[in-house]
């Protein structure tokens, strides 16, 4: 038996249950992993709360982790016992051990620590597809990034500076301003004190920005549209403040013929080719020092509920991980 955090019903952090589960032997195309670190992401909160409903409860939640291969199933030729691997977008990471499809595992290169890998893959590969493929940012672009001091935001901002963009970042409190600046923001807007669209128009001499990366959702969506330049891209990739209300197409016309997209990492990394391309792009900028990943805040696996409470309160900066 091994320990896992499962939910038996949707709800608040208190529904996180520290249970015993039986992992079993790997089947065709699978390996058995012993986790060394487990990433905590806002997507986990959506799953726990029911914002993204899960069927067949109880199940372990969590989508990201790093660990060591302890057993290899039939049909697996490119992994062996002892290999260090990481992954994202595989439900069930909040466990000491698990079975995982070998085709979705990413070898961890030398120079990348397991804890760093577990804390950055979902966020870092999200940053990659957002700024390199969803709307390919060019040197000289001015970009708005919401939650610039958060786990995804800090990676996006650093990567954008490496590309050569001018970065406008929003933060929720004055306490996060210096962190956002240190991560590459040229301008920081404290959203609790200022109207973001007004400040963006001031900074851009009324032009607006060609793209907004918004992982906050309901609280920022309408004002984000007001930040766009003509034919700008509204990239709504998260709902930390709640789900965005249905949008009338006419609204996009009134906002300078805007483009609206709601992308997911599952789509952008669906193929093995895209998965490895995205991961290797992230590894490259981290190993080169263009994107620095700070040591994550650590919680014991059994303290999962507290990690969710802290993340939902938006009091944290950077990334959180669970240690089995």
DSSP string, 118-131: HHHHHHHHHHHHII
Measured CA to CA, the distance from residue 225 to residue 221 in angstroms comes to: 7
* R_g over Cα of the chain: 20
Residue 317 has pLDDT above 70, yes or no: no
Residue 318 has pLDDT above 70, yes or no: no
User: Is the preceding peptide bond at 58 cis, omega within 30 degrees of 0?
Assistant: yes
Give how far the C-alpha of residue 94 lies from the chain's centroid of Cα atoms, to the nearest Å. Answer: 16
Alpha-carbon torsion (266, 229, 239, 174), positive or negative:
positive
Residue 162 has pLDDT above 90, yes or no: yes
pLDDT in tens, 247-261: 788 777 777 788 999
pLDDT in tens, 68-100: 999 999 999 999 999 999 999 899 999 999 999
What percentage of residues in the chain have a pLDDT greater than 70?
Answer: 99
208 in Cβ contact with 200 (< 8 Å): yes
- CA angle, 265 as apex, 86 and 83 as ends, to 5°? 10
Residue 289 has pLDDT above 90, yes or no: yes
The two beta strands, 2-7 and 16-21, are antiparallel
Of 51-65, 108-122, 254-268, minimum mean pLDDT range: 254-268
The stretch 219-231 carries a mean pLDDT of: 93
Residue 120 has pLDDT above 80, yes or no: yes
Taken in order of first residue, the domains within the chain and their CATH numbers are 2-121+271-323 (3.90.180.10), 139-262 (3.40.50.720)
- CA angle, 98 as apex, 7 and 240 as ends, to 5°? 45
Q: Is 235 helix (H, G, I), strand (E, B) or coil?
A: strand
Compute φ and ψ for 249, nearest 5 degrees. Answer: -60, -35
Identify which has the larger pLDDT, 215 or 240.
Answer: 215
């Amino acid at each position: 038996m091994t320990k896992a955090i499962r939910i038996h019903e949707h709800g608040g952090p208190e529904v996180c249950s520290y249970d015993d589960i039986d992992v079993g032997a790997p089947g065709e195309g699978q390996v058995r992993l012993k986790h060394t670190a487990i990433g905590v992401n806002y997507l986990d909160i959506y799953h726990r709360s029911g914002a993204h409903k899960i069927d067949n409860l109880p199940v372990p939640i969590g989508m990201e982790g790093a660990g060591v291969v302890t057993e290899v199933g039939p049909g697996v030729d490119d992994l062996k016992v002892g290999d260090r691997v990481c992954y994202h977008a595989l439900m069930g990471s909040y466990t000491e051990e698990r079975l995982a499809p070998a085709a979705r595992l990413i070898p961890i290169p030398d120079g990348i620590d397991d804890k760093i890998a577990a804390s950055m893959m979902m966020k870092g590969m999200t940053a990659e597809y957002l700024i390199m493929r969803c709307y390919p940012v060019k040197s000289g672009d001015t970009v708005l990034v919401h939650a610039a001091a958060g786990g995804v935001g800090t990676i996006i901002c650093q990567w954008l500076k490496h590309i050569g963009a001018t970065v406008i970042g929003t933060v929720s409190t004055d306490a996060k301003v210096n962190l956002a600046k240190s991560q590459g923001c040229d301008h920081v807007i404290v959203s609790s004190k200022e109207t973001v669209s007004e400040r963006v128009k001031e900074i851009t001499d009324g032009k607006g920005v060609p793209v907004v990366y918004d992982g906050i959702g309901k609280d920022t969506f309408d004002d984000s549209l007001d930040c766009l330049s003509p034919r700008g891209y509204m990239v709504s990739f998260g709902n930390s403040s709640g789900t965005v209300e249905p949008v009338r197409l006419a609204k996009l016309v009134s906002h300078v013929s805007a483009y609206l997209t709601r992308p997911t990492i599952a789509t952008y990394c669906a193929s093995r080719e895209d998965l490895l391309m995205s991961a290797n792009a992230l590894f490259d900028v981290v190993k080169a020092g263009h994107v620095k990943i700070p040591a994550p805040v650590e919680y014991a696996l059994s303290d999962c509920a507290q990690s969710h409470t802290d993340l939902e309160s938006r009091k944290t900066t950077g990334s959180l991980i669970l240690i089995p």
